[in-house]
Structure 1
């Protein structure tokens, strides 16, 4: 009787072991993460994927946009007329304050010229629409509809009608990613309006902020308004950031725990403004005596102006 062959047919032959395949895939993934984090080798691939997936994202958001536009279209005419009338009255009521504000700004500019103080940099930018939040649940990021084609660059601050919202951290051809100030990796130098104390506010990742590095006996009160100090060279000074919610003072620790709430609608969807990058301060002119290789005439004139020593 012939012996039976129990070897599996070629079709059912096993390949590499699952553990070996898992090890290989993990090694490749870790290598890609390291290369992308340290050397930015995958930035071009990320840009290409953003271009390819942008039409799909627009198609996925088309039904929601269509329903929203249909709802706006079917609003009653009476409601729109009432809103228009209310805005007209509000404009007339605020006209005296606006006129006085323009006069005060002109007076402030004239006083700055008299005191030889450099004017504040004007805040300019472009309006962007928040499309959706980032997929990572451990971060606080949103995606707006402005990208490289709109001359958006990483590092630009983002604000709304109430205060600072966040900062552009990644730019694609058609969209940009904005990291909110409530993110754990975001920090903003601030200043207390009431007394001028400067510190840094950090995001907690839960929709709140923490004012750190303040001594336990610091003059901080609940309800204090925090504005940008402008010391980081990114945010213009004077923009509202947060208000103090609670203060925990413990003599066992050197610093107080100060929890704040953002002033802007950080967790709300809507429109924001991406501000232009701050201009670099003009270089200070060097004195003629300290310039190497200056013309001989300038050197002679500089020497004549020096007082003679006896």
Structure 2
């Protein structure tokens, strides 16, 4: 029995196979042979490509966590970058919109200043450009305050005009500002004439209705709706031919000998902040005849008298 066991123990060498050193030597030689054969004859290219094709799904699965992590990081980074860029672009768009609005406002103001300059050139009297500071404090009067006063040689009575026509008249002057009463105020009147036929009249402001009225004209007066009223120039304040109002209503009553004529002012201050103040023309008065004679008659010189003492 013991001999049988010993016999089985000795035959175990063939069951274990070669030693690890022998295996290492064998596979090393085999690897060198395969490498040399593949380098020379390229026999293993198809085999290698097949192994790569078989291992490709495993590579994808192995790299999946890393790829997912990288994609999530890139997504979050892109979202943050896009949010910041979107915020910056919105702010830039708002700034550009504000600049565009200021540019449009400046362009409009520039065009109006050009119009005012043209109105100043058309007027035969010197004019000063003023800016409206604010409306009058009295809600029942139509008055405005401008930024020039007596220190800038502004005087009461100067006409206020814009590029469309007459706005009003300077009625009160302060050191650094002036009060301009509009032609729609009840306290202001202005000599006008109908541009179509030269008919002269006086236009009075109507206060709240922001219109002017031509009172005390006969019922058969030659004035029609649509007629343009201009300054007559006979008052020596307003230049001749400036637009004042357009007739919008002509009513006659059989019981009244006078017509009811209403005009709408052509010029206005609702949409602008600049006006022109026209200087009052200097009228050369003829010299008095006695003054002329006194000027022309030479003075006699009286010789001094001597008093002798006796």
State the match for 1:4 in structure 2: none
State the match for 1:261 in structure 2: 264
Structure 1 pair 230–252 and aligned structure 2 pair: CA distance change class (3 A): same
The reply on whether 1:224 has 2:224 as its aligned counterpart is no
- The aligned length equals 193
User: Aligned to 2:154, which of 152, 156, 171?
Assistant: 152
What are structure 1's unaligned runs of at least 5 residues?
1-70, 92-97, 99-104, 106-119, 298-310
State the match for 1:74 in structure 2: 98
State the match for 1:137 in structure 2: 139
State the match for 2:80 in structure 1: none
Structure 1 pair 295–238 and aligned structure 2 pair: CA distance change class (3 A): closer
Shift of 1:147: 1.0
- Work out the CA distance in 2 between the residues paired with 1:72 and 1:171: 42
Q: Contact 2:125–2:280 (CA<8 Å) still a contact in 1? A: no
Structure 1 pair 247–75 and aligned structure 2 pair: CA distance change class (3 A): same
- Work out the CA distance in 2 between the residues paired with 1:72 and 1:273: 33
- Work out the CA distance in 1 between the residues paired with 2:237 and 2:96: 37
Shift of 1:251: 2.5
State the match for 1:197 in structure 2: 199
Q: What is the root-mean-square deviation in Å for CA atoms of aligned residues?
A: 3.4
Q: Contact 2:232–2:241 (CA<8 Å) still a contact in 1? A: yes
User: CA offsets, 1:138-190, max 9 Å, x none?
Assistant: 11000111111211111111001100000111111111111000000000000
- Work out the CA distance in 2 between the residues paired with 1:175 and 1:275: 16
TM-score between the two structures when normalised by the length of structure 2: 0.55
SS in 1 for 2:151: helix
User: Aligned to 2:255, which of 239, 252, 257?
Assistant: 252
- Work out the CA distance in 2 between the residues paired with 1:148 and 1:130: 16
User: CA offsets, 1:103-135, max 9 Å, x none?
Assistant: xx9xxxxxxxxxxxxxx9713211111111111
Shift of 1:267: 4.3
| Structure ranking higher in helix proportion | 2
- Work out the CA distance in 2 between the residues paired with 1:153 and 1:286: 28
Structure 1 pair 292–268 and aligned structure 2 pair: CA distance change class (3 A): same
SS in 2 for 1:74: helix
Larger Rg: 2
Structure 1 pair 77–237 and aligned structure 2 pair: CA distance change class (3 A): closer
- Work out the CA distance in 2 between the residues paired with 1:184 and 1:221: 24
Q: Contact 2:236–2:280 (CA<8 Å) still a contact in 1? A: no
User: Aligned to 2:243, which of 220, 224, 240?
Assistant: 240
- Work out the CA distance in 2 between the residues paired with 1:264 and 1:72: 34
Structure 1 pair 285–151 and aligned structure 2 pair: CA distance change class (3 A): closer
User: CA offsets, 1:171-227, max 9 Å, x none?
Assistant: 111111110000000000001010000000000002111012211001000010011
Structure 1 pair 293–121 and aligned structure 2 pair: CA distance change class (3 A): farther
TM-score between the two structures when normalised by the length of structure 1: 0.55
What are structure 2's unaligned runs of at least 5 residues?
1-94, 299-310
- Work out the CA distance in 1 between the residues paired with 2:166 and 2:182: 9
Structure 1 pair 134–251 and aligned structure 2 pair: CA distance change class (3 A): same
The reply on whether 1:128 has 2:155 as its aligned counterpart is no
State the match for 1:65 in structure 2: none
